[in-house]
Structure 1
Amino acid sequence: MSSSLRSLLENPQLAQQLLSEAQTRGFVTAMAAAPYLINPSEWLAFLWGGEETSPFNSQEELEAYANAVVELWNESREALLNGSWQWPKECALEDREIVTPQTREFSEGLLQGWQLARDDWETIMPEDSENSALLGGVLLCFSLLYDPENAMDALSAEGADSLAQFEEIFASVPTMLCGLTIRAHELASDDDE
């Protein structure tokens, strides 16, 4: 994430009105993974709650924010499509809370972004297709990481070593998310031809 975007997100006057850094990263990652490109003008306002009026004090501040978000989108899209995307360094597992707050917030942002692109995902990977299982697996991983307490209870009830399962889930997310994005891109490219 660029220092200009980070400083805008840390601005006390804006912090309560914008998604957190981790939520922003998650949301933008979801937009970057989407099978069809969605113009940032269609989703940028969701980063401040969907209000028509942005929380910025000036047009210049809004433009700096929008440019930094698009830059993050470009970086994320490239990393997803070349298979090099990794969790942001702040995202990790931890003993006490299972996941760091940043992991939970990233997952929340990604799931929010997925909702915006949901129709495209369901069109390109319909429910009865083999691709649907890949999409479902990725969404399940992020849902578990967003709500780890309930996930731990469910895994324990199934007799699984829940902490080991979480480690596997967390470790597999980059590969799964890259694979999903690449597959969606292939399917979307086939549709365009």
Structure 2
Amino acid sequence: MSSSLRELLNNPQLADQLLSEAQTRGFVVAMAAAPHLINPTEWLAFLWGGEENSPFASQEELEAYANEIVNLWNESREALLSGIWQWPEGCALDDKELVTAKTREFSEGLLQGWQLARDDWETVMPEDSEDNALLGGVLLCFSLLYDPENAMEALSQEGADGLAQFEEIFASVPNMLSGLTLRAYSLVEGA
């Protein structure tokens, strides 16, 4: 994430109106992973709650923000399609909370973004297809990372070593998300 985008997201006048840095990253990654390219004009407003009017003081500030978001989308899309996407800085496991706040917020943003592309995903990977299992697995991982306490409880009830399973889930997310993006891309391009 560029320093100018980080500055905008940390601006006290905008902080309460925009998604946090980690939520923004998650949302943008969801848009970058989507099977069909969705024009940022269709989803940019969701980064400030979907309001018609942006929270920015000037058109220039809005344009600077939009350009930085598009740059982040481009970087994310390239990393996903190249299979080199990694968790953003600050996203990690945590001894006390299971995951860091940034991991939880990133997961929340990604799940919010997924909702916008949901119809595309369900069209490309219908419920009765093998590909839908991959999609479901990725969404389940992010749901578990968003709500780790309930995830640990569910894993323990299944008799699994919750912590070890949780570490595996976290470690597998980059490969799974890149794999999902690549599979969706091949399905759309091959159609």
TM-score range, shorter chain: over 0.9
What's the offset of the Cα at 1:89? 1.6
* Mapping for residues 107-118 of structure 1, pairs under 5 Å: 107-118=107-118
CA shift, 1:162, in A, is 0.5
Deviation at 1:190, TM superposition (A): 1.6
Paired residue for 2:151?
151
Q: How far 1:130 moved relative to its partner?
A: 0.4
Q: Distance in 2 between matches of 1:89 and 1:61?
A: 25
Q: Secondary structure at the match of 2:13?
A: helix
Q: Which amino acid in 2 is paired with 1:152?
A: M
Alpha-carbon distance in structure 2 between the residues aligned to 1:161 and 1:88: 26
CA offsets per residue over residues 12-64 of structure 1, 9 Å max, x none? 00000000000000000000000000000000000000000000000000000
Residue 90 of structure 1 aligns with which residue? Answer: 90
- Match in the other structure for 1:120: 120
Hey, what does 1:168 align to over in structure 2? 168
* Per-residue CA distance 1:169-191 (angstroms, 9 max, x = gap): 00000000000000000001022
* Inter-partner Cα distance in structure 2 for 1:165 and 1:49: 34
TM-score normalised to structure 2 length: 0.99
In the alignment, structure 2 segments of 5+ residues that lack a partner are none
What's the offset of the Cα at 1:88?
Answer: 0.4
Name the amino acid aligned to 2:168. Answer: E
Query: Any stretches of 5+ residues in structure 1 without a counterpart?
Result: none
Query: TM-score scaled to structure 1, two decimals?
Result: 0.98
Aligned positions of 1:41-80 closer than 5 A: 41-80=41-80
**Structure 1 stretches (4+) deviating beyond 4 angstroms?**
none
Work out the CA distance in 2 between the residues paired with 1:93 and 1:162.
Answer: 13
Q: Distance in 2 between matches of 1:35 and 1:88?
A: 22
SS of equivalent to 2:14? helix
SS at match of 2:56: coil
Partner of 1:39: 39
Q: Please state whether the residue corresponding to 1:14 is helix, strand or coil.
A: coil
Aligned residues, how many?
Answer: 191
Partner amino acid for 2:27? F
RMSD of Structure 2 on Structure 1 (CA): 0.4
Give per-residue Cα distances to partners, 1:83-114, cap 9 Å, x unaligned. 00000021000010000000000000000000
Counterpart amino acid of 1:60?
A: E
Pair 1:142-2:142 in alignment: yes
Amino acid in structure 2 at the alignment position of 1:101: A
CA distance in structure 1 between the aligned counterparts of 2:84 and 2:190, rounded to whole angstroms: 23
Aligned-partner Cα distance in 2 for 1:89–1:169: 18
- Percent identity of the aligned residues? 82
Q: Which residue of 2 aligns with 1:178?
A: 178
The secondary structure found in structure 1 opposite 2:53 is coil
Residues of 2 paired with 1:69 and 1:138: CA distance? 23
